[in-house]
Structure 1
Amino acid sequence: MAILKTATLVLVSSLSVSAMAAEFSFDRPGEGFGTGITPVGHLAWEQGLPSATYTETTIDGAKAKTVTLNGDMLLRTGLTPSMELQLGWQGPAWTQTKYKGDKEDNSGLGDVSIGIKKAIDLNDDKLSMAILAQAVIATGNEGFTAEDDIYSIGTALDYKYNDLVNTGIVMNYAVQDGDWSVTAIPTVGYKIAGNLSGFSEFVYHKAESQDYEYGLSSGLIYALNDRTQFDGSIGVDLSGEDRSYKAGFGVSFLF
């Protein structure tokens, strides 16, 4: 753990202080994060309304179906023109499980997170990059928490192919209770018409002593103006025997 923290501090401190932030963009939706930095003196509020997951698994020959809703939230504020502070909360959550004719409801509060995102100047009008060092603090209620703190460092690289299409990839390395994991998220974004755009992403995840996990998701983004955005997305897990789906609605504001 000390090695990760030291590496993070060295990496952040070694970045050029003259790095210029990419054009501002919200980090919602999607599993990764963008390269944009919140302007100094402004606050970005990104709110799930809500996020939902549906999982269907087989236990002793019978199907167990679980639905989870949670109002995840992320606050971002600029510290410098190329660096921002992020505060996140997985929010209030509710889950319902149906198994062999019985139904069980639970509710609780999720974990909180804190992160620092730094933009890297690549001296390229089309290519932008950012690094995010983050800690997820396991403060949530039982059943709605990661149980152990998670420390991660990730990179986001975005390439503006033209005015209609951009591509990118997020690489994230995390450690939890001494076990490492890696997540890769290649993404493509595309303008549809006017203020409406879409995105598609593939999620690859590998943790120590665990099987590979794959997922695919797509969504729509509507920019009401330069400071307000609405989004909706759906996703499916492609690995394992369980059936798992994700969906989400959200709204983001820049104050």
Structure 2
Amino acid sequence: MTIPNKIIMMLAATVSMSSFAAEFSFDRPGAGFSTGITPVGQVAWEQGLPSASYRETTVEGAKAKTVTLNGDMLLRTGLASGLELQLGWAGPTWTQTKYKGEKVDDDGLGDVSIGLKKAIDLDDDKLSMAVLAQAIIATGNEGFSNEDDIYSLGTSLDYQYNDLVTTGITMNYAVQDGDWSVTAIPTVGYKIAGNLSGFSEFIYHKAESEDYQYGLASGLIYALNDRTQLDGSIGVDLEGQDRSYNAGFGISFLF
């Protein structure tokens, strides 16, 4: 069975599961995804303004510092009760690298993605679950693309502990050019005051023939109204000797 056929079967499997329309929620911010499904006939637009990363590494005894900015975006629309279609784009990206007194700028366009997210009925008022089958298509420019397509199947589980605290975990299994990887993202969400809330997450990633990767992230979410939210987040990678940080600002609309 070819990899494209595998992703088609994963997409079909998510459609065949029982339907449960969880309360809508945006997927931004955070590395995982929410259990909420976009209502039928409506569109959610989630836009980075932008996302940013900074990496400092040592090459031949000299430090190389790289700053990256990109305007990633995600469109979500409801196809049926408990089922949505996702179309994503890594967006335009700009990088600047400083090494041995020289500065190099570069820019390009990233990959696109398509996915289906299905809510799963757990028959529990406090528990919600969703499954996301996704394909990232390597259509981006050289140096701004994953080079090979990535096919993944992820699950997200949320537990409403009380009116102030929510816990959850996202598990994602992906294959790229025959190599498998797994990512686990436990998350805590918490109300702060009024329409302001926050989240914290731990990111664990392991790919074949690669070292373990770890990260921490935290952020704030402000709901302007039922259809619009602003978000900001910052994170740090914990593995290895290199310094690596990421941050992001975003805005999301439900039309």
TM-score tier, shorter chain, comes to: over 0.9
Measured after TM superposition, the shift of residue 4 of structure 1 is: 3.3
SS in structure 2 of the partner of residue 123 of structure 1 = coil
Counterparts of 1:54 and 1:106, CA distance in 2: 15
Q: Output one character per residue of 1:116-159: Cα deviation in whole Å (capped at 9) or x when no partner.
A: 00000111110000000000000000111000000000000000
Counterparts of 2:8 and 2:251, CA distance in 1: 36
- 1:60-79 equivalence runs, <5 A: 60-79=60-79
Counterparts of 1:56 and 1:47, CA distance in 2: 27
SS in structure 1 of the partner of residue 211 of structure 2 = coil
1:12 counterpart letter in structure 2? T
Q: Output one character per residue of 1:33-91: Cα deviation in whole Å (capped at 9) or x when no partner.
A: 00000000100000000000000000000000000000000000000110000000010
- 1:203-242 equivalence runs, <5 A: 203-242=203-242
2:50 counterpart letter in structure 1? P
Counterparts of 2:75 and 2:201, CA distance in 1: 23
Instruction: Report if the CA contact (8 A) 2:44-2:252 is conserved.
Output: yes
SS in structure 2 of the partner of residue 168 of structure 1 = strand
Counterpart for residue 59 of structure 2 = 59
Counterparts of 2:151 and 2:172, CA distance in 1: 10
CA RMSD of aligned residues (A): 1.0
Counterpart for residue 159 of structure 1 = 159
SS in structure 2 of the partner of residue 31 of structure 1 = coil
Counterpart for residue 4 of structure 1 = 6
Counterpart for residue 249 of structure 1 = 249
Counterparts of 1:53 and 1:9, CA distance in 2: 32
Counterpart for residue 42 of structure 1 = 42
Measured after TM superposition, the shift of residue 11 of structure 1 is: 2.6
Give TM-score scaled by structure 2 length.
Answer: 0.97
SS in structure 2 of the partner of residue 174 of structure 1 = strand
The answer for unaligned runs of 5 or more in structure 2 is: none
Counterparts of 1:119 and 1:182, CA distance in 2: 21
Counterparts of 1:167 and 1:127, CA distance in 2: 10
Counterpart for residue 80 of structure 1 = 80
Q: Which runs of 4+ in 1 moved over 3 A?
A: none
2:10 counterpart letter in structure 1? T
Counterparts of 1:184 and 1:7, CA distance in 2: 23
Task: Tell me the matched-pair count.
Answer: 253
Q: Output one character per residue of 1:225-246: Cα deviation in whole Å (capped at 9) or x when no partner.
A: 0000000000000001111000
2:145 counterpart letter in structure 1? T
Counterparts of 1:205 and 1:222, CA distance in 2: 29
SS in structure 2 of the partner of residue 4 of structure 1 = helix
Counterparts of 2:188 and 2:6, CA distance in 1: 30
Counterparts of 1:197 and 1:34, CA distance in 2: 15
Counterparts of 2:40 and 2:66, CA distance in 1: 42
2:166 counterpart letter in structure 1? N
Instruction: Report if the CA contact (8 A) 2:73-2:90 is conserved.
Output: yes
Q: Please, which of 14, 17, 37 is the counterpart of residue 16 of structure 2?
A: 14
Instruction: Report if the CA contact (8 A) 2:7-2:133 is conserved.
Output: no
Q: Output one character per residue of 1:176-232: Cα deviation in whole Å (capped at 9) or x when no partner.
A: 000000000000000000000000000000000000000000000000000000000
Instruction: Report if the CA contact (8 A) 2:7-2:135 is conserved.
Output: no
Counterparts of 2:4 and 2:147, CA distance in 1: 20
Counterpart for residue 182 of structure 1 = 182
- 1:20-169 equivalence runs, <5 A: 20-169=20-169
Measured after TM superposition, the shift of residue 13 of structure 1 is: 4.3
